[in-house]
Chains A and B, each alone.
Chain A
């Protein structure tokens, strides 16, 4: 059984990191998590973002959830909002797409055009 002692260990390690962490948030990942999003599989998508950011040790990006974004047929949907408020909306998300978006969009600043809402509407 896991114990609180382990948690204490995590705390000590995290404390060393936290002092280095900058408080300004560069980007925000917003996951639509209403009934429509959840049913379409938004939870594993959000989890994939959190896991991938954790693996890459990225602390300047926050992952939050929101209600229904309004286009339920394209759920799971994710919005990436940068510091200036520019927004990119990705649709029909999967955990695999989330991993790619972290690598290309979050880390390298290249929008994954083929996953965006504009591209989905052309089909």
Chain B
């Protein structure tokens, strides 16, 4: 994967296959300890303990077209190559939480990438799911909630092109405010 936003997109696909209807994406930068945390939390069907034990293995997958599943393994590899780690917690019928952390200044830490496009693509393809994006730099905080948009738009579908475009621009502004200057690839 080229950047973190693609990893987020990939992991959220797992949440969608697990029949979640609310997905929280929390991206938190802690500049004072040089750590970036990405948490993806869903309310899907969850995993049982046996599956959870093996889930990080590339040979554990629910897909039927082949025997390998690389989503979580790749995310973990990206975290580890930036002196971070990845943890998964899951409870059957409650949901799953995946948390990855990265050393912000590490030379191999992937850039954040086009997070706005990740969110708009997800909304386009699964508009019935509620997405909450929470970005935080310990001083300021930006929250995007697809439910608020739907409430404002009323009978106009959230997938209407103009709405999607607005959401993309809105999130882009949020990224600049929260991560501008904090992550060195984003200018404030």
Inter-chain contact A14/B152, CB cutoff 8 Å: no
Stretch from A41-49, A86-94, A115-123 contacting the other chain: A41-49
Q: Does A101 belong to the interface (CB within 8 Å)?
A: no
Inter-chain contact B125/A63, CB cutoff 8 Å: yes
Task: Tell me whether chain A's interface is mostly helix, strand or loop, or mixed.
Answer: helix
CA distance A63 to B157 in the complex (A): 14
* Number of chain A residues close to chain B: CB under 8 A: 34
CA distance A13 to B160 in the complex (A): 11
Q: Does A60 belong to the interface (CB within 8 Å)?
A: no
Find chain B residues with CB under 8 A from A68 CB: 63, 65-66
> C-beta contact mask, A1-12 vs B, less than 8 Å → 1, else 0?
110101110110
Q: Assuming A1-B173, A2-B169, A35-B74, is B125 touching A43 (CB within 8 A)?
A: no
Q: Assuming A54-B161, A68-B65, is B10 touching A38 (CB within 8 A)?
A: yes
Inter-chain contact B163/A67, CB cutoff 8 Å: no
Find chain B residues with CB under 8 A from A47 CB: 117, 120-121
Q: Does B18 belong to the interface (CB within 8 Å)?
A: no
Inter-chain contact A18/B156, CB cutoff 8 Å: yes
* Number of chain B residues close to chain A: CB under 8 A: 39
A68 to chain B, nearest CB (A): 5
Find chain B residues with CB under 8 A from A64 CB: 125
Inter-chain contact B117/A43, CB cutoff 8 Å: yes
CA distance A18 to B117 in the complex (A): 24
Inter-chain contact A7/B152, CB cutoff 8 Å: yes
CA distance A13 to B154 in the complex (A): 13
> C-beta contact mask, B117-136 vs A, less than 8 Å → 1, else 0?
11011001100000000000
29 cross-chain CB contacts under 8 A: A2-B173, A7-B166, A10-B156, A11-B156, A13-B162, A14-B163, A18-B157, A18-B160, A33-B13, A34-B10, A35-B70, A35-B71, A36-B70, A38-B1, A38-B6, A38-B9, A39-B1, A39-B2, A43-B6, A46-B124, A47-B117, A47-B120, A50-B120, A63-B124, A65-B121, A67-B63, A68-B63, A68-B65, A68-B66
Q: Which residues of A contact B (CB under 8 A)?
A: 1-2, 4, 6-8, 10-11, 13-15, 18, 33-36, 38-39, 43-44, 46-47, 50-51, 53-54, 63-65, 67-70, 72
Given contacts A63-B124, A67-B63, A70-B65, 16 further A-B contacts (CB under 8 A): A1-B177, A2-B169, A6-B166, A8-B152, A11-B156, A14-B160, A14-B162, A33-B125, A34-B13, A35-B74, A38-B1, A39-B10, A43-B6, A43-B121, A67-B17, A67-B65
